[in-house]
């Protein structure tokens, strides 16, 4: 069933600007975990005053990071860059257990902005290890969430699986106690294929009762599937290091539609619009709505834009802030 249409603005083509039908995905942009992480930094600045240190990008979006820098946040890669006693925030992607342990040793006042859905995966990893099962973790090597999750258990207790080829190469046998977990920002379809392969190879494998891929990731991918088939081109607003944004590009392309990842309106080449009558537009979970409107405004300079919002889901999720900021 097609998602409901909601007209945002419309008007006939006029002058030298031909009509561009714009299909805007909903939901798009900020998720509850990103909202929470940004609010944690902002409230920390209010409570402690500038500067507040943030380990790694709080979320993967340069516009957001630059805005927080302007308010007094200082972004660092490791805790040894944080002065003793200074407040520090851990990013939404999660951190290995060694990081808060080091913060405690250093006497740093830290706040954990890890998305609660990522924290849930961390707890699952601990439970599976305690049950004596080796964990097969489906994710992308080097991503901060993967580093954080693999750092929840001792080295050797978890094996990273990225591809179907990785599944084929796994050395475990039918008598080995195995479990699986997944990164929260993966492609729903690709992950399903890998899980099917794991279950076929290891019928004894166990996993979480609910899907680890977060609701926002799933919803944004489903929304792209609504706009892509009717579009000549899909633009995804997001950063190249944003896993969920890159997955949105992949989803659109798998629908048979050309798709491009952009960070800001300035990234759009007007030549891309040649032969494009209908354009799909969405934003990754760490891209603010302001950047969506910026893109629409830029498109309106070149074409007469007729907007339609395709609503495939309504999100009402809200996550609580850390106790330090609410007491």
Give the residue numbers marked as catalytic: 145
SS3 48: helix
What is the distance between the alpha carbons of residues 143 and 243, in angstroms, rounded to a whole number? 8
Q: Are 110 and 88 a contacting pair, CB within 8 Å? A: yes
Residue 102 CB burial class (10 angstroms; 0-12, 13-18, ≥19): middle
* DSSP-derived secondary structure for 184-253: TTS-HHHHHHHHHHHHHH-TT-B--SS-SS-HHHHHHHHHHHHHSTT-SEEEEES-TT-HHHHHHHHHHH
What is the distance between the alpha carbons of residues 191 and 128, in angstroms, rounded to a whole number? 20
**Sheet with 109-112, side-by-side order of all strands:** 73-76, 52-55, 87-90, 109-112
């Amino acid at each position: 069933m097609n998602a409901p249409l909601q007209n945002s603005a419309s008007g006939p083509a006029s002058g030298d600007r031909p009509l561009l039908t714009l299909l805007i995905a909903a939901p798009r942009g900020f998720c509850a975990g990103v909202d929470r992480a940004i609010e944690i930094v902002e409230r920390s600045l209010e409570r402690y005053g500038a500067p507040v240190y943030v380990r790694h990008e709080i979320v993967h979006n340069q516009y957001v990071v630059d805005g927080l820098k302007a308010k007094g946040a200082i972004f660092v890669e490791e805790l040894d860059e944080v002065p003793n006693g200074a407040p520090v925030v851990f990013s939404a992607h999660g951190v290995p257990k060694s990081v808060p342990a080091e913060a405690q040793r250093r006497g740093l006042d830290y706040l954990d902005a890890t998305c609660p859905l990522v924290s849930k995966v961390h707890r699952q990893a601990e439970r599976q290890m305690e049950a004596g099962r080796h964990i097969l973790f489906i994710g992308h090597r080097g991503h901060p969430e993967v580093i954080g999750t693999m750092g929840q258990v001792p080295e050797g207790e978890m094996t990273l699986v990225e591809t179907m080829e990785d599944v084929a190469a796994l050395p475990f046998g039918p008598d080995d106690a195995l479990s699986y977990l997944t990164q929260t920002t993966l492609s729903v379809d690709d992950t399903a294929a890998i899980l099917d392969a794991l279950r076929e190879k290891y019928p004894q494998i166990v996993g979480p009762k609910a899907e680890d891929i977060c609701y926002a990731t799933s919803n944004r991918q489903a929304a792209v599937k609504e706009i892509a088939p009717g579009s000549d081109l899909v633009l995804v607003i997001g950063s190249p290091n944003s896993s969920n944004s890159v997955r949105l590009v992949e989803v659109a392309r798998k629908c048979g539609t050309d798709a491009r990842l952009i960070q800001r309106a300035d990234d759009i080449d007007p030549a891309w619009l040649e032969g494009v009558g209908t354009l799909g537009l969405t934003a990754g979970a760490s891209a603010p709505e302001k950047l969506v409107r910026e893109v629409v405004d830029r498109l309106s300079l070149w074409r007469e834009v007729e907007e339609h919002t395709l609503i495939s889901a309504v999100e009402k999720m809200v996550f609580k802030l850390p106790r330090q900021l609410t007491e």
